[in-house]
Amino acid sequence: MSERFPSTYAVLQQHGVDRRTFFKYCTSLAAMMGLEASMVPKVMAAMENKPRIPVIWLHGLECTCCSESFIRSSHPIAQDLILNMISLDYDETLQAAAGEQAEEIRRKIMKDHKGQYLLAVEGNAPTRDGGVYCTVGGRSFLDILKETAEDAKAIVAWGACASYGCVQNAKPNPTGAQPVHKIVTNKPIVNVPGCPPIAEVMTGVLAYILTFDQLPELDRTGRPKMFYGQRIHDKCYRRAFFDAGQFVESWDDEGARKGWCLYKMGCRGPMTYNSCPTVKWNAGTSFPIGSGHPCIGCSEANFWDHGPFYERMAGSVPLPGIESTPDQVGKTLAVLTGVGVGAHLASYWARRAGKRIAGKPVDPAENTTGEVK
């Protein structure tokens, strides 16, 4: 196995990385995925023995910010991913081939690795008027997406576009743009939303799939709990100011200079699930709230249509009441924005879960994966 597909560890060894450093690398990777110390040997084993999974990365209606975020990853770095961890066989942005030569690759991977390749989708498909609003090589992206999804092992839907629809899907959605899960209904899909998603979240999802040879546990909208399990508001370092009633009232006021809570400036933190306050952005440098701007909720469905960003949410979304606590707000919105991932995913996980959890039923309404207790 390792001769034809050199493992990550083999290459690191060849670069002079000793076992101790390799252990540290795997430890930090494991920590980032929220795993316990006992899991580190598993991560190391994966890096030592795994072949590189073929990946086809399609681009539909999008802005390419997901690709750009992806290459910002600080751990693992883009070079490691592309050379050692996955086989990025088709990606219009980075690949050297173009046109017919590029399409040949896509067809070859679909055929040679039928049922084994990972389909990554950035962007989404317009469905109005036969999909003429996004064609690639004379074919509608809608067709290309459906065709490429057919023999994929699983789909990773990068960003708000592929997960929910994003800006082109905002009212009035002139092109009929639809997210992947509304077009492909017979494959396991991992939604990794955000506009774009955090780089280390994107690469973390891939690292998880590669290490554990399974999809991560997903929430009710198909997002990995390991990165979208809690709200910004739950983990925000300015929460103490919220609780103490200390708010920014106007840009660059005394509160702003003291780093007070941005709730009154329209912050969507209370109803947004993402890792921004913990993993943060660009190798932990900062995140929107930390740099003084309220969260705009970019990892939630339809965030573009929840009213002006600088007005508090209460004005435009039916909430229990303006005086609701953020907890109530969060729960209500989770229900409102919940998108059923469908019976297929529940049954997929029921099949997988059956091997790992004896006697524990999977209730699709509760969670989509069968919780490991």
Stretch that binds another protein, among 34-42, 213-221, 277-285, 330-338 (CB under 8 A): 277-285
> Considering the rule CB under 8 A, would residue 278 count as an interface residue with another protein?
no
Per-residue contact track with another protein, 312 to 351, x per CB under 8 A? ----------------------------------------
- State which of residues 74, 116, 325, 347 lies at the interface with another protein (CB under 8 A): 74
Binding residues for another protein restricted to 103-142, rule: CB under 8 A: 104-105, 129-140
**Contact present, 32 and 279 (Cβ < 8 Å):** yes
Residues 6+ apart with CB under 8 A from 132: 126, 140
CB of 89 to another protein, least distance (A): 6
CB of 17 to another protein, least distance (A): 12
CB distance 305 to 171 below 8 Å: yes
Q: What is the DSSP string of 244-304?
A: HT-B--STTSHHHHTT-B-GGGT--GGG-B-STTTT-BTTTTB-TGGGT-----TTSTTGG
What's the alpha-carbon Rg for the chain, to the nearest Å?
A: 21
Residue 126: strand pairing partners: 177
249 touches 310 (CB < 8 A): no
Bond before 76 cis per omega within 30 degrees = yes
Residue 310 interacts with another protein (CB under 8 A): yes or no: yes
d(C-alpha 12, C-alpha 18), whole Å: 8
Strand order in the sheet with 86-91: 86-91, 53-59, 117-122, 152-158, 189-192
> Is 163 a binder of another protein (CB under 8 A)?
no
**CA-wise closest residue to 43 among 213, 224, 198, 202:** 213
Q: What's the closest the beta carbon of residue 209 comes to another protein, in angstroms?
A: 17
**Candidates 42-50, 94-102, 204-212, 349-357 — which segment interacts with another protein by CB under 8 A?**
94-102
Q: What is the C-alpha to C-alpha distance for residues 347 and 367, in angstroms, rounded to an integer?
A: 12
Interface stretch with another protein, choices 59-67, 319-327, 329-337, 345-353 (CB under 8 A): 59-67
Query: Binding mask 14-43 vs another protein (x if CB under 8 A, - otherwise)?
Result: xx----------------------------
Interface of this chain with another protein, residues 173 to 232, rule: CB under 8 A: 173-175, 177, 195-196, 198-199
Cβ closest to another protein, residue 168 vs residue 369: 168
Judged by beta carbon, residue 66 or residue 190, the one nearer another protein is: 66
Q: With respect to another protein, which residue has the nearer C-beta, 8 or 369? A: 8
Q: Which of 285, 292, 212 is nearest to 251 (CA)?
A: 292
| 247 vs 287, beta carbon nearer another protein | 287
Taking the least distance from each CB to another protein, the nearer of 222 and 288 is 288
Query: Nearest CA to 242 among 259, 258, 261?
Result: 261
Choice from 9, 25, 228, 304 touching another protein (CB under 8 A) = 304
Distance CA 339, CA 337 (A): 6
Q: Applying CB under 8 A, does 99 fall inside the site for another protein?
A: yes
Region from 29-37, 148-156, 165-173, 333-341 binding another protein, contact rule CB under 8 A = 165-173
Among candidate residues 78, 195, 66, the one with its CA nearest the CA of residue 121:
66
By rule CB under 8 A, what count of residues binds another protein?
A: 97
With binding defined as CB under 8 A, does residue 267 bind another protein?
no
Closer to another protein by CB, 39 or 48: give it: 48
The CB-of-38 to another protein minimum distance in angstroms stands at 31
